């Protein structure tokens, strides 16, 4: 299932509101990544990002930084995500956890596919085992 960008965006904005996170949208250079600030409980997203299909996952990632209290005002999207102890990896895992309920809601477990989830939200391939685990957790709860 592929979600329209507006539906996914609105879903994530609702999660941000629940956590008292302010999301700002700005027209920036197409290569300027989004950023977040735990101190200011805010996220800045780039409306002109050169790969618009990545914006939903980026938004979830930046919200995750603030939820988890990551210190430091800006975390760049191009940073290394693969070290499982890195702040960026953990923000990506948090992004997956934020998006799983949207993807799985009102869907029978037999119809859920982790590859489709990853494609729909442009999740990096190295997170495939995380996606599979989080989908299983969603249906076990």
Residue 78's pLDDT is: 43
CA 126, 86, 68, 135: dihedral to nearest 10 degrees?
20
pLDDT at site 128: 97
For residue 2, pLDDT beyond 60: no
Cα dihedral 73, 88, 119, 25, rounded to 10, equals 0
Instruction: Give the pLDDT band (50/70/90) at residue 3.
Output: low
**For the sheet containing 42-46, what is the strand order?**
22-26, 42-46, 35-37
pTM of the model: 0.89
- Give buried/exposed letters for 87-101 (b at 16+ CB in 10 A, else e): bbbbbbbbbbbbbbe
Does the pLDDT of residue 92 top 60, yes or no? yes
């Amino acid at each position: 299932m592929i979600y329209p960008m507006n539906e996914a965006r609105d879903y994530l904005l609702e999660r941000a509101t629940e956590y008292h996170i302010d999301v700002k949208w700005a027209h920036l250079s197409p290569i300027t990544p989004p950023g977040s600030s735990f101190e200011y409980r805010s996220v800045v997203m780039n409306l002109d990002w050169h790969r618009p299909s990545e914006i939903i996952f980026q938004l979830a990632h930046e919200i995750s930084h603030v939820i988890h209290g990551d210190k430091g005002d800006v975390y760049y999207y191009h940073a290394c995500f693969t070290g499982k102890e890195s702040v960026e990896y953990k923000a990506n895992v948090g992004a997956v956890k934020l998006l799983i309920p949207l993807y799985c809601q009102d869907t029978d477990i037999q119809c859920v596919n982790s590859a489709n989830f990853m494609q729909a939200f442009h999740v990096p391939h190295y997170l495939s085992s995380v996606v599979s685990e989080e989908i299983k957790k969603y249906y076990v709860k």
